[in-house]
Amino acid sequence: MIHDGKFHYPPGGGASVFKEKYINYIFNYLPKNEVRINVGVTPNTSPHFGIITTFSLAFALAQQLKKLGKTLTIIVGIVDTESIKSDKYIFDDIVFQKSLAYTGGIYDYIDDYKELIEKLSSYFGGIDHIIVNQSDLSLHRKAPEIIRKIINERERIGQLLFPLKNSLGLTAACPQCGLADKYGVKNCYNGDIINFFCPNHGFHSIDISKDNLQKLEYQTPLRNLIRGLLYTEDNKEKAIPYSWLRVTGCDFSGFYQEQLLYRGIAMFNIDIINSPLIVYGPLVIDWSGAKLSKSILVEGGYKYMTKQGLDYFINYQKFKTKFNSKGLEILFDETNLWLEESHRLFRNYPIFYFEELFKAKINKAMDLEEFNSKKDIEQD
C-alpha cells in the first residue's frame, strides 16, 4: 500500500472538546487530594503492545496529576480467575474452567508484568504502585453488602450483563478439583448461601455473611460492575481520603460502560455522579483494524508478525531484545504526548505507526550518537 506518510488527527468526539488541557479537566473532577488509578490485566500471555501502551498511559497520567499536586498510587489489578483455553471443559453444554490461580498459570508471565511496572514507575518519577489480585475486591468493607444486592437482583443483573446466558457470572472453584461453572449457570441461591456445582464432586456452598468472600470469582462484566459500585462508594464517602480513576483500552468504552456499568449502577438507585472517571487508551490495531488480543495470541494467532520480524508487538521479551531500554523510552514518551496533546489520545494506532516511529526515533538517536562521536574525535 502506498501512502503519503502524513499523520492525521481528525476532529470529532473528545478530540473536538479536549483540544488542550485534558489533564486539567481530569484534575478538576478529582475532589480528593489522593488519587488511586486502577489498571488491570489477565496475565495469560507476555504483555503485548496494547497492554504496554495502556499501562504506560496510566503511569503518564499519574505523573501529570502528581505535578498538579495530587498524591498518586497505581493499583494494578491482576485477574487470576480467568483461564486459558486448555483449562476449559464442557459438561452438559455448560462451560467449566480452572483458573490461572488454581493451575499455577499465573506464574508463567507474571514476572514480565512486574518488570514492566517497575520500569514504568521508575521512568515516570517513582510512582507508587500496588499489585492486587481479583480476590482483593472481596475484601472491601462494602463487598458483602454490594454482592448481596446483586444476588437479590440477579435476574435483572443477569439479563443485563450476560444476556446470552441469563445468569450472573458469579462462581467459585470446587475445593477438591478447582473446576468452576464459568457463568454460574447451575448456581442455587438461598438467602446469603450460594450453592455452586462441580460436575465431579457435586455442590459446594459459600455463605456471604460468614465465609471468606475471596473464594468468589467474577466474570468480566460482573467484576466491572462490582468494582464500579465499590469505587463509587469510596468516591462519595468523605472519610475515604482518595478518589478513584480508571485507565483501560477504548474497546471497553461506549456501549459497554453505558449499559453494563452505568445502567447497572442506576439499577441500585445510586447516583453515578460519584462513579470513577475512566480514561480510555487508544487501541493498538493489526493490519485489519482489529485490536491486538491476548485471546487470539493464546490461540496461536499473529503468525504473520513473527514471519516479518514484528513479533516484538506481541511479546514483551522480544520487544526488550530488539530495542533494549530505548524502545520503552520511545513508547513512554509517545504515550505521555497523548496527554500533553490530547487530540492524539482520541484515536487508535496501527502497529505500522509504531514501526515507523521506532525506526525514525532510533535512527535519529544513532545519527546523534555518531555526530557526537565524530565531534569528540575532532576535539581530541
DSSP 186-255: T-EEETTEEEEEETTTEEEEEETTTS-GGGEEE-HHHHHHHHHHHHHHHHH-TTS-EEEEEEEEGGGSTH
Q: Which residues pair with 171 in a beta bridge?
A: 217
- pLDDT given for residue 301 in this prediction: 85
Residues with pLDDT less than 50, the chain: 368, 370-378
Does pTM surpass 0.85? Answer: yes
Residues 264, 268, 272, 274, CA torsion sign: negative
Burial class (CB in 10 A: 0-12, 13-18, 19+), 116: buried
Q: Among residues 43, 178, 44, which one has the least CA distance to residue 103?
A: 178
| Alpha-carbon distances of 113 from 124, 199, 260, 296, rounded to whole Å | 16, 34, 28, 19
User: Mind listing the domains of the chain with CATH numbers?
Assistant: 23-84+103-136+221-379 (3.40.50)
- pLDDT given for residue 366 in this prediction: 57
- pLDDT given for residue 1 in this prediction: 57
Secondary structure (3-state) at 118: helix
- Tell me the pLDDT tens digit for each residue of 41-100: 999 999 999 999 999 999 999 999 999 999 999 999 999 998 887 788 999 999 999 999
- pLDDT given for residue 6 in this prediction: 76
Residues 27, 57, 292, 39, CA torsion sign: negative
- pLDDT given for residue 375 in this prediction: 43
- pLDDT given for residue 295 in this prediction: 82
- pLDDT given for residue 365 in this prediction: 64
